[in-house]
Structures are given as C-alpha cells and as structure tokens.
Amino acid sequence: MTEPAETPLLSARGLVRAFGALQVLRGIDLDVRAGEMLAVAGPNGAGKTTLLRILAGLMRPSRGQVRIRGEQLTRHDPAPRRAIGLLSHHTFLYDDLTPSENLRFTARLYHLPDPEAATRAALEEVGLSARADTPVRHLSRGLLQRAAIARALLHQPDILLLDEPFTGLDAPAADRFRALLSSQLDRGRALVLVSHHLAEAWELATHVAVLAGGHWALEGRRPDDLAAFHGRYAELVHG
Amino acid sequence: MAEFLRIAWVIAAKDIRLELRSRTALLSAIVFSALVLVVFNFARDPTAIAAVDLAPSVLWVTFAFGAVIALNRAFYVERENAALDGILLAPVPRSALYVGKLLANLAFVGVVEAVALPLFVLFFNVGIGHALGGILGVTALATLGFVAVGTIFSAMVVRTRFAELMLPVLLLPFMVPPLVGAVQVTAKLLAGRPLSEMMGWLRLLTLYDIGFVTLCILIFPAVVDE
Amino acid sequence: MTPELLAARRIVRRGQVLTLLGLLAAAGVYALALLYTPVEVRQGPAQKIFYIHAPAAWGALVAFAVVGLVSILYLWLKDERLDLFAASSAEVGIAFSLVMLTTGPIWGKTVWGTWWTWDARLTLTLFLFFLFVGYLALRAAVQDHGERARFSAVVGIMGLVLVPFIHLSVYLFRTLHPQPVLLKPSAPSMPPEMLRALLSGMAAFTLLYIGFVVLRYGLARLDNLREGAGDAL
C-alpha cells in the first residue's frame, strides 16, 4: 500500500488487548490521515468497541501503542486527548442537566476559550437550539442523539471515533448525519467508524477493514462494489 | 497546578449543580441523620445516662451514617449514560477528577453535618456554645479523612452489584480512626479540658488526613483507567 | 494439554505437598506444646491454646501484608497472576484470622473471665478480618476481571496504610482508658521452653500459610483457564 508520507492523524501499532485468558485483539495496526474515514466491520463480540475505546484512550492496550499526530497516547499526558472525539452508544449526558448545561460543562472540561459561544454554536449546528434548556431526561430519542453529537463535536476534534452511530436513526436523520460526517471529512478530520454492517457509511468511507478473531481479516482502500464486499465479508466471518 | 484546580472545580461545580437540581440524595441524607438522632434519644435510659455523657458518640455516629448515605451518590450520577467516560475522554488528569469529586462530597457531607449539629443540640439539650469553634475544627479534620477514603470507594462500588451495601462494608473500618479521634476530642472539648490532652488525637487525625488524601490522589487513576 | 494447564497443575501439586508438610509441622509443634512445655502457673492448661492462637494471628498478619504488597506490584506490573495471588492470600488470611478470633475468646473466658476484651492485638486482628471480608466481598461483586483486580488492589493497599492507624487509635484509646486487665496474653518473661514452642509454632504456621496460598493460587489459575476455555467456545 503506498500512502502519502505525511504523519497520520491517528495511528496504532500492534494493539493487543486481553481480558484474563481471553485475547480480544491480537495485533491491530492502522493509520488514518486527514480527510480519510476508516470503516471497520466485524461480527458482534469481535472487539470493535474495545478497539474504539483503546483508540479513544479510555482503555489501555495490553501491548502496542496509539499515536495522535505521531505523539503517543499515554495515561500521564492528557494533552493529546484533546484531538479525540467519541460518539458512543452512550450519550455521556447528565439527565438532570439541560443540553446547554451539559455542553457548557464539557466546554469547561476542555478549557474552551468561550464556553457560552461554543455551546450555542454546537447546539445550532445540530438544530437543538429550541430545546437547549429542556432537561435531557425529557428529550426524545432523536433529540438525545443530536445532543450527543453536539457534545462529541463541541471541542472540534481532529479525530472522530464513531461506535455504531446509525443505530436508532430514521432515514432523514441518517441523511443529515451523513451530511455532517461528510462536512467533517471536508474539514480535514480523520474518522473511524465501527459497525456490524457498513452499508450506511459505505459511500463516505475511504478505507474499510474487517475485524475477526482479533486480527484484520481484510484491510485496505474501499472497493467500489458493496455487494461484492458483503460476499467477501460473509465468507471471512462465517466461512 | 492552576489548571488542575480549575478542572477539579469545574467537576465539583457540576456535581453541586446536579445535586441542587435533584436534591434527592442530600435530602435523604439529612432526614436519615435526623432519624438517627431520634432513634438514639429513645435508645437511652434518661434516668441512668445523662445526655452529655452520650453526646459525643451520638453526634459522630450520626455524622458517619449521614456521610455514608451522602457518599453513595458521588459516582452514581457518573454512571447514567456513561458520563464518567465523557470526563475521562477529555484532557483531564485523573487525580483532578478525584479532587473535584472530593470537593463536592465535602460540600454535601458538610451540609448534612451543618443540619445535624443544631438538631443534635436541640434534641439532646447539650450546650456546645463554649466549644463551638473547637467542634467545628475537629469536624473538618475528621470529615476530610473519611470523605477522602469514601470518595475513592464510592467510585469503585458504583461499578458493582449491591453498591449501597458494599460502601459501608468497605468504608466503616476506615472510618474508625477518624471517628474514635473525633469522639474523644469532642468529649474533651465539651468537658472544657485543656488542649494538651487532645494533642495525641489531633495528631492522629492530621496524620490520617495527610496520609489518605495523598494516597487517594496517587491511587485514584488505578480505579478509573481500564 | 497446554503448558499453562501443566504449570497450574504443578503449582497445585506443590501446594498440596507444602500444606501437608505444614499440617505435620503444626501437629508436631502442638504435641511438643502439650507434652514438653511447662504448664503456666496461673493460667493452667488453658494457656496451651496460646500455641495456636498466637501463630494464627501471625499468619493473618503475614497474609495481610502479602495482600498489600502484592497489590502494589499488581498496579505496577498489571500481571493477572499477582491479582490471583493476592486474592488467595486474602482467603487464607480470613481463615487464619477466624482461628485467632475464635481461640482468643475461649482462652480469654477461662483466663480473664471475659469472652472479649479490646486488647490491641485482638482488636487489630478483628479489623484485619473485616478488611479481608470487605476485600473478598468487593471481588465477588465485580464481574470484569481487570476491574476486579484493580479495585481489590486499591483496597489492599489502602488497608495496608490503615493498619498502623488502627493500631495507633487502639493504643491511644487504651492509654486513656486503663482496663482491668489481670494478665497480659503473653507474660513478659517467658520460660525458654514456651518461647521455643511459640517460635516453632509460628514457623509451622508460616509453612502452613505458604502451603495454603500456593494451593489456592494453583486452583485459581486452573479456574481461570477453565473460564478462558469456556469463553473461547
């Protein structure tokens, strides 16, 4: 594979993660550059969420390392974490606070220069301004997802990690979300998305990988033909 | 250092705002403390034991029980929607998260104590005016120690089954030295004894605070870092 | 058969041998204590329980120190075997402290006329027992292996720091409240036969402790391998 020589925004080498005697990841390498999106597919329990948690710095790999712009992610230096945004299936929101209170708290955690303005802009971007002062526990599921997106993007992370982000979105919402991801790619961000099926993000992905048995069963530039990929995927995972 | 304290304060302020919004944990802890005081009153034989003899232990057992109830909530709010992950994702030193939680817990336990103390004076008819400054001082000293330990334990038990049962089982042995010290000092303060008689206990309390606050700050990352 | 399985089985066998040796040594020491050490003048034959009581307390203290120190190593090296070893030590420690806590009152009742006294050593062992219980209860309540190991290591280390404070509290408490203690558990001047029996009792219990811990640790390794195999299916 010949890639441009610039330092990848996000890279990982030799990631291994064991839970007791069980090895979930057995040596994963990856590089994601500005404007690229790596879509990772794999069956349930293949370790996709574990991989994402390690890339986000929430979990330490048993072996191997993660680098952000060439700088190693360690537990001692919190600074490189600033570049990471994670959209997980949890919203990370406090139910008793309003979206704007939640976002202001996040903005202060990241020490953004103007928490108020950042909060207003982020809520505006996902179309949640009208409900900015409703406690999160009273928001509908769709609005919750928007609030979670606003929270994940609030600090303008260069690297965006997405865990099954299309779950629970209806067709129009999924379209809006795809547009948002596309604009993130245009802005030179690096995206990693994990999902058990890649159809929803296929067009956006620049690279695809299949995680099975703790290894990349397949990895490289995205092929054009989704159907052929599905055939190959079924073969790798079930065959 | 300034950044460390800033983050700790952001987290503590968020906890206080959350608690003021729901108020459930704080109110329960206060009502619980009042109930403990009432139970103590009826559990003694007023003809045999003077209230003042029992007063220091009653006060501190009440504070301890109220604190355990208040501490249970500390990391409970971080469990909903995996909010703790949201904090850990940010460029936040883990020990700043601990200090933030500790500050918020000190505020809650302080409020519970601030309500329980006048109730205690009212119910037990014990004059504490002459020793008020000393009692507030020893309360601060003892509370800091067991809340420091309780904060780290509440971060762990919230990830377990039966969290509400697990916290007292783990925490009460650690509460014994500050509690014994506080009871002894309070008794001497109420009896108007000279400071020299309390020095041993005050030293123990100070040492406990320094030892455990330092240890907890150092060891807390092991609790939250997977 | 995998090498891990063979290694675990070897540890179990070694533990069995050590336990057997420890039991034999303990029995030998006890025969020695009954037959050869003099009967204590004031306490009579009841004092013989001392040769179980004190070594059991010693075993509990060793177990506790091992839990704390191995916990420090675990947080440093993050090797799961260290966690299993600390847990094994805690389980053995709970047994030893229970022996100490049951023999204490039996002895105390005959000698002091009271089942329980807040003697510094008895109190400390009671707290070791509580800490072991808390440690193991926490382990039982956490499912994830890594989390269980980290949490219990934290409790193990905190306990290690707590023990001197407990001791200091009891000491301060007792100096202020002199107790009507008639006899100290161990007389200051102990006949050399008694001292020898006590020391060999402590050696025997140390061996017994090692045997139990190695055996328990080996079994924990086997358990873990079985769980791992179950997950892989």
Other Cβ atoms within 10 Å of C191 Cβ, number: 12
Average pLDDT over residues C191-202: 85
> Tokens representing B181?
């010290």
Mean of the per-residue pLDDT values of chain C: 87
By CA distance, what is C130's nearest residue in B?
B173
With beta carbons less than 8 A apart as the criterion, state whether A66 and A73 touch: yes
What's the rounded Cα separation, in Å, for the pair C51 and C59?
12
Q: What is the pLDDT of residues B164-187, one digit of tens each?
A: 889 999 999 999 999 999 999 999
By CA distance, what is B22's nearest residue in A?
A96
Other Cβ atoms within 10 Å of C43 Cβ, number: 18
Residues of B in contact with C166 (CB under 8 A): 173, 176-177
* Interchain contact, A20 vs C232, CB within 8 Å: no
Q: What is the pLDDT of residues C67-112, one digit of tens each?
A: 999 999 999 998 889 999 999 999 999 999 999 999 988 888 887 7
Give the max Cα distance, chain A.
Answer: 54
Q: Which amino acid is at A36?
A: E
pLDDT at C188 over 60: no
Residues of A in contact with C227 (CB under 8 A): 20-21
pLDDT reported for residue A5: 57
Mean of the per-residue pLDDT values of chain B: 92
What's the rounded Cα separation, in Å, for the pair C136 and C113?
34
More confident residue, C226 or C164: C164
- pLDDT band at residue B83 under the 50/70/90 scheme: very high
CB pairs under 8 A between A and B: 79
Q: What is the pLDDT of residues C123-156, one digit of tens each?
A: 889 999 999 999 999 999 998 888 999 999 999 9
Average pLDDT over residues A75-101: 93
Mean of the per-residue pLDDT values of chain A: 90
CA distances from residue B91 to A102, B97, B222 in whole angstroms, order as listed: 17, 11, 17
> Tokens representing C77?
């090296």
**What are the φ/ψ torsions at residue A147 (nearest 5 degrees)?**
-65, -40
In angstroms, the separation between the Cα of residue A22 and the nearest Cα of chain C is 6
- pLDDT band at residue C182 under the 50/70/90 scheme: very low
With beta carbons less than 8 A apart as the criterion, state whether A187 and A177 touch: no
pLDDT at A1 over 70: no
Q: What angle do CA C77, A86, A109 make, to 5 degrees?
A: 80
* Interchain contact, C173 vs B180, CB within 8 Å: yes
Q: What is the pLDDT of residues A189-223, one digit of tens each?
A: 999 999 887 888 898 999 999 999 899 988 889 88
pLDDT reported for residue C228: 67
Average pLDDT over residues A17-22: 80
- pLDDT band at residue C116 under the 50/70/90 scheme: confident
In a domain, A76, yes or no: no
Share above pLDDT 70 across residues of chain B, in percent, rounded to a whole number: 100
Average pLDDT over residues B22-46: 88
With beta carbons less than 8 A apart as the criterion, state whether A100 and A116 touch: no
More confident residue, B24 or C57: C57
The candidate with the shortest Cα–Cα distance to A189, out of A1, A31, A81, A32, is A32
Euclidean distance between the first and final Cα of chain C, in Å? 17
Q: What is the pLDDT of residues A137-147, one digit of tens each?
A: 999 988 999 99
Residue A31 belongs to what domain range?
10-69+158-238
In angstroms, the separation between the Cα of residue B150 and the nearest Cα of chain A is 22
pLDDT reported for residue B25: 84
- pLDDT band at residue C233 under the 50/70/90 scheme: very low
Q: What is the pLDDT of residues A145-191, one digit of tens each?
A: 999 999 999 999 999 999 999 887 888 888 999 999 999 999 999 99
pLDDT at C181 over 60: no
* Interchain contact, C141 vs B176, CB within 8 Å: no
pLDDT reported for residue C49: 85
DSSP conformation letters of C179-214: ----S-SS-SS--HHHHHHHHHHHHHHHHHHHHHHH
pLDDT reported for residue B52: 78
Exposed, middle or buried by CB within 10 Å (0-12, 13-18, 19+), for B4? middle
With beta carbons less than 8 A apart as the criterion, state whether A99 and A136 touch: yes
With beta carbons less than 8 A apart as the criterion, state whether B191 and B135 touch: no
- Between residues 7 and 46 of chain C, which touch chain B (CB distance below 8 Å)? none
ipTM over 0.90: yes
In a domain, A205, yes or no: yes
By CA distance, what is A213's nearest residue in C?
C232
Give C209's contacts (C-beta < 8 A, 6+ positions apart).
C22, C59, C62, C63, C92, C96
What's the rounded Cα separation, in Å, for the pair B30 and B35?
9
* Interchain contact, B91 vs A78, CB within 8 Å: yes
Euclidean distance between the first and final Cα of chain A, in Å? 26
A15 DSSP β-pair partners: A28
What's the rounded Cα separation, in Å, for the pair B114 and B143?
12
**What are the φ/ψ torsions at residue A86 (nearest 5 degrees)?**
-130, 125
- Total number of domains in chain A: 1
A110 near B CB under 8 A: yes
Q: How many CA atoms lie within 13 A of B130 on its CB side?
A: 9
By CA distance, what is A18's nearest residue in C?
C146
* Interchain contact, A94 vs B7, CB within 8 Å: no
- Total number of domains in chain B: 1
pLDDT reported for residue C229: 65
What's the rounded Cα separation, in Å, for the pair A185 and A179?
10
Q: What is the pLDDT of residues A56-69, one digit of tens each?
A: 999 999 899 999 99
Share above pLDDT 90 across residues of chain B, in percent, rounded to a whole number: 74
Q: What is the pLDDT of residues A93-122, one digit of tens each?
A: 999 999 999 999 999 999 999 999 999 999
Other Cβ atoms within 10 Å of B199 Cβ, number: 11
In a domain, A92, yes or no: no
* CATH of residue A166: 3.40.50.300
pLDDT reported for residue C232: 46
pLDDT reported for residue A4: 53
